[in-house]
A and B are shown apart, each in its own frame.
Chain A
Amino acid sequence: MAKRIEVSDLNIYYGDFLAVEGVNVSIEPRSITALIGPSGCGKSTFLRSLNRMHEVLPGARVEGKVVMDGQDLYGADVDPVDVRRQIGMVFQRPNPFPTMSIYDNVIAGNRLNNKRMKKADTDELVEKSLRGANLWNEVKDRLDRPGSGLSGGQQQRLCIARAIAVEPDVLLMDEPCSALDPISTLAIEDLMAELKERFTIVIVTHNMQQAARVSEQTGFFNLNGVGQPGRLIEFNPTEKIFSNPDQKATEDYISGRFG
């Protein structure tokens, strides 16, 4: 069940520091939206505000609206825990739970949602999720081994399996390939192309070729200077961004000219 996310006038703070200012964007369901921009421009911060992971840090807060299919995620009666169950996240560094087996890692989120599942059902879910993450054939013989024993690329796909096992509406990916080699990166990009049939995917990446390869829409974040808030400079179809962007800053960034 992929869903559309509408963001309006979003300001994101760390304490008193305004990190990201005035974001308005509409993220399409069943597509991949890429966020690019220089380091420190607030694209990861923006991504984390979509599933309310931003406010986990002390003093961090958000103003504005994030609406997913009519539901304001920052509404007064919305529990951030419920938001995170609908919007999955994959982090920059692979983070399978080291104390859990591969099997338990995959169903960690499901264990949270409903306590009791039949063994046959969990087996099926584990296989389906691992197949969905293109990892099944590599780990099917060692499901009881710790997830931390896998290679970096396998660990990241395990994290994707864990995120999609709960059937979220949206999948957020925060530089999921930056710690991986090109072959693992390709595996994850292929996977994303399959996953977008079912999920809304938002990916933050420093790799512009990656953004150009995988995404339908691209947003470019930038900031005027150190200490200034980051802004969404341009949001357009990926093709347009990389061939004929509306903004001079976007063109400078993607062609490698700065300032």
Chain B
Amino acid sequence: MTATKAPTEPPSQQRVVRRPGDRIFSGAARTSGIFILLVLAGVAAFLISEAIPALTASSEDIPGGEGLAAYIGPLIVGTLLGALIALVVATPLAVGIALYVTYYAPRRIASALGYVIDLLAAIPSVVYGFWGLAVLAPKLVPFHEWAADHLSWIPLFAGPASTSGRTMLTVGLVLAVMILPIISAISREVFSQAPALHREAALALGATRWEMIKMAVLPYGKSGVIAGAMLGLGRALGETMAVAIILSGGGAATVNLISNSNPSTIASNIALKFPEATGLGVNTLIASGLVLFLITLAVNMIARWIVNRRADFSGAN
């Protein structure tokens, strides 16, 4: 781009003619943009001001009696662990579904399948919670036992196996089902927009359908998939009801997925403890909420960084 020097005439002579429609629209857009920043700042200010008493309190006053870090630490582990399982399970599945719907399925099946997937997003999370508790958890007990017998050398499956199935593993899988529609809907959208120009370029070079997808669709849709995965991760991190219903009792910070002693998650811990909390207990819960806020913020920033890293090659130029 060439930098042009601004002419040195007085600004009054180059007044830009602007039509009312332009002015109204740009004003409305700017207001919306500022509004979202204000809301975010308000939430952050509330969380920080309410969390300060817990941050400054002596450690024996914090519930648990061992300080804030010892209280929130296991919750952070639990939150990340559950969300990570969900992400690892759901993302490949969602990408597969999206590719099938956009490039493999006959058109009639594709649109029907699209509706069904979208329907998954409409189910309230409390229903997922009950389904996880009543159906999935008992069904997963044999797998818990098998994993404890055969995979116990992996820290994730150290055991002893839970007999109820109400474990971090079950939570992660339920969360995976919950975030599946978000990731697959966004992936489907970006995959279907992969330019025909580049798809035909790949096919004309003698690419098979899968090679065409690798050359022209996945690179184009990558940032969209990452964006979808991060939205899903955001939902998994913040999911409250389903986790609160399924997970049995808060335990220590452990990555053991299949035992009864699971760390709870921040959101479900707040939901469960808030009704009975008083005084500093409330501040402590809000401090944990602040941590969740920061985690989500960090996740989004990392996602943005990943998307922008190879902006030159994104196809947007």
Interchain CB contact under 8 A, B215 and A108: yes
Alpha-carbon distance between A75 and B75 when the two chains are bound, in angstroms:
64
Known interface pairs A58-B107, A91-B197; A99-B206 also in contact (CB < 8 Å) = no
Q: Tell me, rounded to whole Å, the shortest Cβ–Cβ distance linking A161 to chain B.
A: 12
Interchain CB contact under 8 A, B313 and A166: no
Known interface pairs A98-B313, A99-B220, A149-B312; A93-B197 also in contact (CB < 8 Å) = yes
Number of A-B pairs whose CB atoms are under 8 Å? Answer: 78
Chain A residues 52-104 with CB under 8 Å of chain B are 53, 56, 58, 81-82, 84-85, 88-89, 91, 93, 95-101
Residues of B within 8 A of A162 (CB): 205
Known interface pairs A145-B312, A148-B315; A97-B204 also in contact (CB < 8 Å) = no
Partner of A109, one of B198, B205, B314, B315: B205
| Closest A residue by C-beta to B107 | A58
Partner of A97, one of B198, B211, B312, B317: B198
Interchain CB contact under 8 A, B205 and A112: yes
Q: Tell me, rounded to whole Å, the shortest Cβ–Cβ distance linking A56 to chain B.
A: 6
User: Is residue A159 within 8 Å, beta carbon to beta carbon, of the partner chain?
Assistant: yes
User: Is residue B32 within 8 Å, beta carbon to beta carbon, of the partner chain?
Assistant: no
Alpha-carbon distance between A148 and B220 when the two chains are bound, in angstroms:
13
| Closest B residue by C-beta to A53 | B204
User: Is residue A132 within 8 Å, beta carbon to beta carbon, of the partner chain?
Assistant: no
Interchain CB contact under 8 A, A99 and B205: no
Residues of B within 8 A of A148 (CB): 315, 317
Chain B residues 89-133 with CB under 8 Å of chain A are 107
C-beta contact mask, A221-239 vs B, less than 8 Å → 1, else 0? 0000000000000000000
Alpha-carbon distance between A145 and B313 when the two chains are bound, in angstroms:
8
User: Is residue A207 within 8 Å, beta carbon to beta carbon, of the partner chain?
Assistant: no
Residues of B within 8 A of A112 (CB): 205-207, 211
Residues of A within 8 A of B202 (CB): 97, 108
Residues of B within 8 A of A81 (CB): 206-208
User: Is residue B61 within 8 Å, beta carbon to beta carbon, of the partner chain?
Assistant: no
User: Is residue A151 within 8 Å, beta carbon to beta carbon, of the partner chain?
Assistant: no
Alpha-carbon distance between A5 and B294 when the two chains are bound, in angstroms:
65
Partner of A99, one of B204, B207, B211, B219: B219
Interchain CB contact under 8 A, A166 and B197: no
Alpha-carbon distance between A98 and B201 when the two chains are bound, in angstroms:
11
Alpha-carbon distance between A85 and B207 when the two chains are bound, in angstroms:
8
User: Is residue B189 within 8 Å, beta carbon to beta carbon, of the partner chain?
Assistant: no
User: Is residue B216 within 8 Å, beta carbon to beta carbon, of the partner chain?
Assistant: yes
Closest 6 CB pairs of A and B: A85-B206, A98-B315, A99-B219, A109-B205, A89-B204, A84-B206
